[in-house]
Structure 1
Amino acid sequence: MSLFRKFFGSSSSASDEEREREVQETSIFNNMSIDEQFIYHFKKNGGKFLYCENIEELKEQFENILAENDWFESQVLCYDPKLYGLLDENKLTYGMTSNPKFLFTSCESLIAEEGSILFSSKQIKQHKPNELPTNIVVYATTSQMLAIKSDGLTAIKKKYERDYPTNITAIKYFEKAKEEDFTQYGSSPKNLYLLLLEDL
């Protein structure tokens, strides 16, 4: 036995355990579908996930979010005209608001490998994530789930052949880290709800 192992023996067994855990996780993920991978990572990152089979269920879940947070008759940041009807139904003020309670938006895609949500200037204009409200409600569909981030970028290229969006960014952290985590350095965690509508 080497001198280092005598002094630091416990750390090698700890790293062996960590490696074993990573191997087990990898084999589990290989057997998971893309949507299962996304949900696992998204929840692990602190996101709140609400699955909706139809539009009526989505409207009901949206109202539940408003009730849970006491956001009725609040100001909302929203740049997507397709979502205005839902805001009007719930008497929410949107447009040039000075102090929005939350951002209500669609997204470009949902990235399974890291449980993140990909946005572009089409949804958030030129705002950086730290400039957006802390509370975000995202409307997305099951057909927007993709395996990896490069698939999301490819989908953006196909979708916007001429009017290519700028400010492409992914939001991944939905709660503040319990311990110091260097991977979250510079990110601003969001209280994020995902309303996921089945469309496949």
Structure 2
Amino acid sequence: MSLFRKIFGSSISASEEEKEKENNSSFSDNNMSIDEQFIFNFKKNGGKFLYCENSDEVKEQFENILEENDWYESAVLCYDPALFNILKENKLTYEKVVHPKFLFSSCENLIAEEGSILFSSKQIKQHKPNELPTNIIVFATTSQILAIKSDGLSSIKKKYERDYPTNITAIKYFEKAKEEDFTQYGSSAKNLYLLLLEDL
């Protein structure tokens, strides 16, 4: 049984689900694979996770997000030409946008240790996280999941030997803090959906 089938298996009863939650909360990070650790921490941070086995499922899940939020025929902030096609298919405007409903972007890496998403100027130009739209849809692949942030920085260094990106930043909080949480001070919470494509 694959990791994602195990995590998203549909045929478990409510009581079994409760037991599984208890097990997960007492599950030491050392016992988890990097993939499991990322998903656990990402969801704990409030992120919405959608696993896709192929590109057709990515398109289907993207359309489900549009429908859920009534974002059809909206303006979208997107700097990645590889993603323009899916925006065109859904009649979304992405050129010279002034008030975007959401950001649609790829990312550099997914960081398991903190359940965060690592971006650079290649995806978000020079925008700071608080300058980005509150709503974000990120497209990533399972091969982009790395253990710790320093692995992500090394990966960026390797990927862009000459044209090194600037504005490397991680977004970690995907819902407003329920209480005053000093760890979130200065960060802006995002309503973030992750479309994760299996590519391993």
TM-score by length of 2: 0.87
Deviations 1:31-54 (A, max 9, x none): 100000000000000000000000
Amino acid in the other structure paired with 2:178: K
Secondary structure of 1:94 counterpart? coil
Secondary structure of 2:66 counterpart? helix
Question: Alignment identity in percent?
Answer: 82
Hey, what does 1:181 align to over in structure 2?
A: 181
Matched, 1:45 2:50: no
The correspondence of residues 129-144 of structure 1 with structure 2, limited to 5 A, is 129-144=129-144
Query: Is the 1:79–1:95 contact (alpha carbons within 8 Å) kept by the matching residues of 2?
Result: no
The correspondence of residues 23-102 of structure 1 with structure 2, limited to 5 A, is 28-102=28-102
How far 1:27 sits from its partner (Å)?
A: 6.1
Secondary structure of 1:59 counterpart? helix
Deviations 1:127-154 (A, max 9, x none): 0000000000000000000000000000
Aligned residues: 177
Hey, what does 1:159 align to over in structure 2?
A: 159
Bigger Rg, structure 1 or 2: 1
Deviations 1:38-93 (A, max 9, x none): 00000000000000000000100000000000000000000000000000000000
Secondary structure of 1:136 counterpart? strand
Hey, what does 1:125 align to over in structure 2?
A: 125
Amino acid in the other structure paired with 1:116: S
Secondary structure of 1:189 counterpart? coil
CA distance in 2, matches of 1:27, 1:171: 24
Hey, what does 2:111 align to over in structure 1?
A: 111
CA distance in 2, matches of 1:146, 1:26: 22
CA distance in 2, matches of 1:95, 1:163: 24
How far 1:25 sits from its partner (Å)?
A: 6.5
- Please provide the CA RMSD for this pair: 1.2
Q: Which runs of 5+ in 2 are unaligned?
A: 1-23
Hey, what does 1:170 align to over in structure 2?
A: 170
CA distance in 2, matches of 1:94, 1:106: 15
Secondary structure of 2:110 counterpart? strand
Secondary structure of 1:166 counterpart? coil
CA distance in 2, matches of 1:175, 1:27: 23
CA distance in 2, matches of 1:127, 1:27: 37
TM-score by length of 1: 0.87
CA distance in 2, matches of 1:96, 1:164: 26
